[in-house]
Chains A and B, each alone.
Chain A
């Protein structure tokens, strides 16, 4: 018997497919944002506000990831932008293959900005690249200020953090400085303090999107 050292990282088939998605997006000039965060953080609400603000100027598309329902996709559909629903049937995250299949339902040449709403989860989606240009974590005041500390993996891979529901700050013991410090520990990320209810702070988020897209 003999032990052979290998030290090879297992090629994630997911990464290969993510690269194919990325090439398709690049060829069609589509800017893709992967929106992640806990269940109920406000991912769909943020998309609805963003679509409302931008849809007259930019051609937007949405892929909705959901474990079982099409509730969020119906809300998006009502805005008139093209939306494709992916039901993961139990899986806690979207993967690149699901996106590749969803893309067959879009004409990418007719989209400038594609949002992918991931399954509500602060752990698993971080490990699966989809071929996106930017990854955004939506966190919200009622979840508590300790999320960046408890789920650093998600914040480490993010390009931007949206702190939603700031209209509720008065009702929760939420220390915004603690939140920011722990985000900074994960990386130099922009943090957008917004309320999708009152629309406070949304313009800074929209400006960032615009700059990123260029």
Chain B
């Protein structure tokens, strides 16, 4: 019953990024800054890979995930996105 939970996180990040871009009339997301809690048990390579797969054909295709660690937390937060106008 193996489950790669990074895919569901990647989907959620993609939704947040593309919705934010649309609300700001942008049509290309260049990068996404994330804060990742030390207890979130996220494998960054898996997350990056999952994201690159599911973002194909979306506004965020090819966007880079820039992550900073965050001590003592289990949350994942989208801090900001950079877009092309």
Residue numbers of A with Cβ under 8 A of B are 1-14, 86-93, 95, 97-98, 101, 123-124, 126-128, 152-153
Contact = CB atoms under 8 A, between A and B. Distances in A.
A89 B4 CA distance: 11
Nearest to B32: A6
Contacts of A5: 79-80
Given A91-B2, A153-B74, A10 B9 contact: yes
Contacts of A95: 3, 5
Contacts of B11: 13
Given A4-B83, A12-B76, A127-B74, A93 B41 contact: yes
Given A1-B83, A88-B2, A89-B2, A6 B16 contact: yes
Given A2-B24, A9-B78, A89-B2, 9 more contacts: A1-B85, A3-B82, A4-B81, A7-B77, A8-B16, A11-B12, A95-B3, A123-B39, A153-B74
Nearest to B40: A127
B57 interface: no
A13 B74 contact: no
Interface in B1-42: 1-3, 5, 8-9, 11-13, 16-17, 20-21, 24, 26, 30, 34, 37-41
B39 A86 contact: no
A117 to B, nearest CB: 15
B75 interface: yes
B80 A86 contact: no
Contact of A8 (B21, B26, B77, B82): B77
A24 B20 CA distance: 34
B45 interface: no
A6 B78 contact: yes
A91 B3 contact: yes
Nearest to A121: B41
Given A5-B79, A152-B72, A101 B1 contact: yes
A97 B8 CA distance: 12
Given A6-B20, A87-B1, A1 B72 contact: no
A3 B80 CA distance: 7
